[in-house]
Amino acid sequence: MPTIRILSDRVANQIAAGEVIERPAAVVKELVENSLDAGATRVEVEFRSGGRASIRVEDNGCGMSKDDALLSLERHATSKLVETADLDRLHSFGFRGEAVPSIASISRFELQTRRADAAHGTEVVVNGGKLVHVRECGVAAGTRIVVSHLFHPVPARRKFLKSDPTESAHIIQTVRLYALACPQTAFTLIEDGRVLFQSPVCATLTERVAEIFGRQFAADLLPVAVTEEGMTLAGLIGQPGTSRSTRHEMITFVNRRPVDSRTLNYALLESYATTLPKGRYPVAVLFLELDPAAVDVNVHPAKREVRFRSEGQVRGFVIRAVLQRLRERGGAVSAAPPPLLSAEPRDEIPGLPAVPAAAAVVPASSPPSAIAQPFKPFIKSPGLAPLPPPRAPVAPSTPAAASGAPAASAQRLLGWRFLGCKPSSASGPWKASGCSSRFRWSSTPSPARC
Ligand SMILES: Nc1ncnc2c1ncn2[C@@H]1O[C@H](COP(=O)(O)OP(=O)(O)OP(=O)(O)O)[C@@H](O)[C@H]1O
Ligand SMILES: [Mg+2]
């Protein structure tokens, strides 16, 4: 029997990283979440070779002191939670204190950070979990992290990476989700030196949806805003009859966190059951806001799934809210809501089942996927979906966000124009769209929007 020994922090981090960081897009997700938690109003993401060569995430958030910067590399070091009960009051994306040490243990990790009130910044470089150096540096207020040589210390993981275009597509999809989640943060995404998209701060979700999916797409959606028993459902849904062949554009957020929730997916499918034919999926960008105590976000290694305390209640609420909106719109929905299924999702859902054939039929030429639609001139949408309040920074120091971006960056954040890309066959909001370099976004500023 081999002797039991306690793993070194480095090995423990590398093993833990296996769960959290499955591919380059997971690095982007974790770093962007940290930027948003730090109150950033500007986030810039740049990556090379599908994120394999390098990933840079830069923000104008609250930044960190030297001590905090070093502490952030320790496992279970977080500024977002003190005790377990805090999970019931959680308003941040992160809470486990494991993303930064995990990433730093499996890459070359360069962190530069400065709080707005500090005279100089701190640079920390870690290679495969080993500290290379810590020194003072000049850097704009906020945080800049560059991750390169990803998975070098864990070659087995490298072998599981897909082609660069596939990994790029996952990164793009990840940034799109967070850009939707936080319209009030300006986003820039750069791939191999080419700006894929830029969006300034947007006042409304509709504006951000228009930035990402195109003006026409946004204009065709119906705003939803329903509050009931402590839950609010806000966002945009497709008109009755608008459908897609994948559930790519069924995008749901719970307390701003992009989630792949079977409960919400079911609720949406059920709401549209009578208006969409078999095998078609509705379009939605929906934000469910509820008491953090009513949802468990600590059920998935990458926090992609959540569990509701009362699945049935959430599901019933979403169905009622969506059906009500569809009825107001005069959609061909049945007079009575479809009977609610059991609180637990049906077994056949995971593969995203064919929706039961419906009475109403989608027009023969149903619109192509939004991501396939070319850029169209701006058309004002019928209404602006209200937004949940922006997140407050949760990092310990005062956010530098308000001070704004450096002039050069600010100039580049004037706006982006969607130029279209090929549709993909992948499904689910977390699945990459397969667009990658096929995405075409203009880096030229578009007319004032927000
Ligand atoms: N961009 C940033 N700006 C300011 N502080 C940051 C930034 N990134 C990380 N931090 C600090 O470093 C800490 C550790 O980050 P890390 O992502 O490892 O953990 P977390 O976000 O607290 O939890 P999780 O592991 O669930 O993401 C954070 O709690 C935060 O205080
Ligand atoms: Mg984090």
- Supply 88's token pair: 């019931």
Percent of the chain past pLDDT 70, that is, above it, reads 73
For residue 97, the CA-to-ligand 1 centroid distance in Å is 6
Whether residue 438 has pLDDT greater than 60: no
Any idea which fold 211-372 has? Ribosomal Protein S5; domain 2 (3.30.230)
Q: Summarize the confidence of residues 370-384 as an average pLDDT.
A: 31
The per-residue pLDDT for 434 is: 37
Q: Where does the chain hold its CATH 3.30.230.10 domain(s)?
A: 211-372
Q: What is the pLDDT of residues 124-144, one digit of tens each?
A: 999 999 999 999 999 999 999
| Strand 108-114 to 121-127 pairing | antiparallel
Substitution candidate for ligand 1 out of 72, 81, 124, 178 with most atoms within 8 A of CB: 72
- Supply 305's token pair: 């799934």
Contact 89, 8 (CB under 8 A): no
Is residue 242 in contact with ligand 1, taking CB distance under 6 Å?
A: no
Contact 215, 198 (CB under 8 A): no
Of the candidate ranges 162-166, 286-290, 325-329, the one whose mean pLDDT is the lowest: 325-329
Which of the four pLDDT bands, split at 50, 70 and 90, describes residue 394? low
Is residue 319 in contact with ligand 1, taking CB distance under 6 Å?
A: no
Q: What is the pLDDT of residues 64-95, one digit of tens each?
A: 999 999 999 999 999 998 898 888 898 999 99
Whether residue 342 has pLDDT greater than 50: no
Is residue 62 in contact with ligand 1, taking CB distance under 6 Å?
A: yes
For the CA of 35, the closest atom of ligand 1 is 1
CB atoms within 10 A of CB 160: 9
Is residue 112 in contact with ligand 1, taking CB distance under 6 Å?
A: no
Is the pLDDT higher at 410 or at 430?
430
Is residue 143 in contact with ligand 1, taking CB distance under 6 Å?
A: yes
State how far the alpha carbon of 135 is from the alpha carbons of 69, 126, 141, in Å.
11, 12, 16
First vs last C-alpha separation in the chain: 66
Which residue, chain included where needed, has tokens 């969006």? 199
Is residue 44 in contact with ligand 1, taking CB distance under 6 Å?
A: no
pTM: 0.78
Any idea which fold 9-199 has? Heat Shock Protein 90 (3.30.565)
Which of the four pLDDT bands, split at 50, 70 and 90, describes residue 324? very high
What sign for the dihedral angle of Cα 221, 223, 227, 231?
positive
Is residue 34 in contact with ligand 1, taking CB distance under 6 Å?
A: yes
Q: What is the mean pLDDT of the chain?
A: 79
Which of the four pLDDT bands, split at 50, 70 and 90, describes residue 388? very low
Q: What is the pLDDT of residues 269-289, one digit of tens each?
A: 999 999 888 899 999 999 999
Whether residue 368 has pLDDT greater than 60: no
Is residue 232 in contact with ligand 1, taking CB distance under 6 Å?
A: no
* Ligand number, closest to the Cα atom of 143: 1
Is residue 13 in contact with ligand 1, taking CB distance under 6 Å?
A: no
Which of the four pLDDT bands, split at 50, 70 and 90, describes residue 391? low
Which of the four pLDDT bands, split at 50, 70 and 90, describes residue 18? confident
For the CA of 143, the closest atom of ligand 1 is 1
How many residues does this entry show for the chain?
A: 450
Nearest-10 Cα torsion for 425, 287, 327, 356: 40
Q: Where does the chain hold its CATH 3.30.565.10 domain(s)?
A: 9-199
Q: Summarize the confidence of residues 168-181 as an average pLDDT.
A: 96
For residue 13, the CA-to-ligand 1 centroid distance in Å is 15
Which of the four pLDDT bands, split at 50, 70 and 90, describes residue 333? low
Whether residue 227 has pLDDT greater than 90: yes
The per-residue pLDDT for 28 is: 98
Is residue 109 in contact with ligand 1, taking CB distance under 6 Å?
A: no
Q: Summarize the confidence of residues 425-441 as an average pLDDT.
A: 42
| CA-closest residue to ligand 1 atom 6 | 34
For the CA of 395, the closest atom of ligand 1 is 31
